[in-house]
A and B are shown apart, each in its own frame.
Chain A
Amino acid sequence: KAGVTQTPRYLIKTRGQQVTLSCSPISGHRSVSWYQQTPGQGLQFLFEYFSETQRNKGNFPGRFSGRQFSNSRSEMNVSTLELGDSALYLCASSLGQVLETQYFGPGTRLLVL
């Protein structure tokens, strides 16, 4: 089975711009979770989508949003970028239950200038 794919892998934006990141889960997985990783805060949960519905949400401002399509692919959008949004954005794919493992994609490294 193919693993989790994320595009783009690297991105440079300036403050105030918006960005859209994409994630394709493992075939058959209906849950996609998004995480932000920074040196200062570590890995933090953004949100989870399951069957096209947002099921869980972390403590991030409304500038961070997402959606999931009928083929389980997910996109994450960040509007009005701030310098502090520079991070590695990871998506994780799973079957969606509490005992199921989440498998991570390679990540998108975002640099905001």
Chain B
Amino acid sequence: QKEVEQNSGPLSVPEGAIASLNCTYSDRGSQSFFWYRQYSGKSPELIMSIYSNGDKEDGRFTAQLNKASQYVSLLIRDSQPSDSATYLCASKAAGNKLTFGGGTRVLVKP
């Protein structure tokens, strides 16, 4: 079992709709969680970080964390074709090592 699990997709959403991405983790010692976006051939760029249970909103993005269920999610509202990318969920336990999920590929169709 991988430490961080994501559905590989592709998740296909129409333009303007909400994209919902999910991630589960197995290490209960995980303290911080990150969502990165990666376009094909490019490096990951940070979208959101979240450390406490609940929701965190930044523009069109909302991250949700539930430590009891070991679950992290990302909502993308008003999805745009430019949001088409692979979204990587990552966690950190003690130390500064990021553990990544396999990524969810998102396709936003005009």
Kindly provide the distance from the CB of B91 to the nearest chain A CB, expressed in whole angstroms. 10
CA distance A81 to B93 in the complex (A): 31
With an 8 A cutoff between CB atoms, is B45 at the interface?
yes
Task: Specify the chain A residue showing the minimal Cβ separation from B102.
Answer: A42
- Chain A residue numbers with a CB within 8 Å of B68 are none
Chain B, residues 28-50, CB within 8 Å of chain A (1/0): the string is 00011010100000111110010
A48 in contact with B100 given A98-B32, A104-B44, A106-B42 (CB within 8 Å): no
* 8 Å CB interface, B81-110 against A: 88, 90, 92-103
Interchain nearest-CB distance for A85 vs B (Å): 18
Contact present for A94 and B96 (CB under 8 Å): yes
Q: Once bound together, how far apart are the Cα atoms of A102 and B32, in whole Å?
A: 11
- The answer to whether A103 touches B96 (Cβ under 8 A) is no
Which residue of B is nearest A45, CB measured? Answer: B97
A42-B103, A90-B43, A107-B43 are contacts. A102–B96 as well, Cβ < 8 Å?
A: yes
Contacts A48-B97, A98-B31, A98-B32 known; A106 to B43 CB distance under 8 Å? yes
Contact for A101 among B31, B34, B88, B93, CB less than 8 A:
B34
How big is the B interface, by class? 20 to 34
Given the known interface contacts A45-B97, A92-B98, the answer about A99 and B43 at a Cβ–Cβ threshold of 8 Å is no
Query: How far, in angstroms, from A17 to B93 measured CA to CA in the complex?
Result: 35
What are 30 A-B interface contacts by the 8 Å CB criterion?
A33-B97, A42-B101, A42-B103, A43-B44, A43-B88, A43-B98, A45-B99, A48-B96, A48-B97, A50-B96, A55-B95, A55-B96, A56-B96, A56-B97, A58-B97, A90-B44, A92-B98, A96-B96, A97-B96, A98-B93, A98-B94, A98-B96, A99-B32, A101-B46, A102-B34, A102-B96, A104-B36, A104-B43, A104-B44, A107-B43
A residues in contact (CB < 8 Å) with B:
31, 33, 35, 42-45, 48, 50, 55-56, 58, 88, 90, 92, 94, 96-107
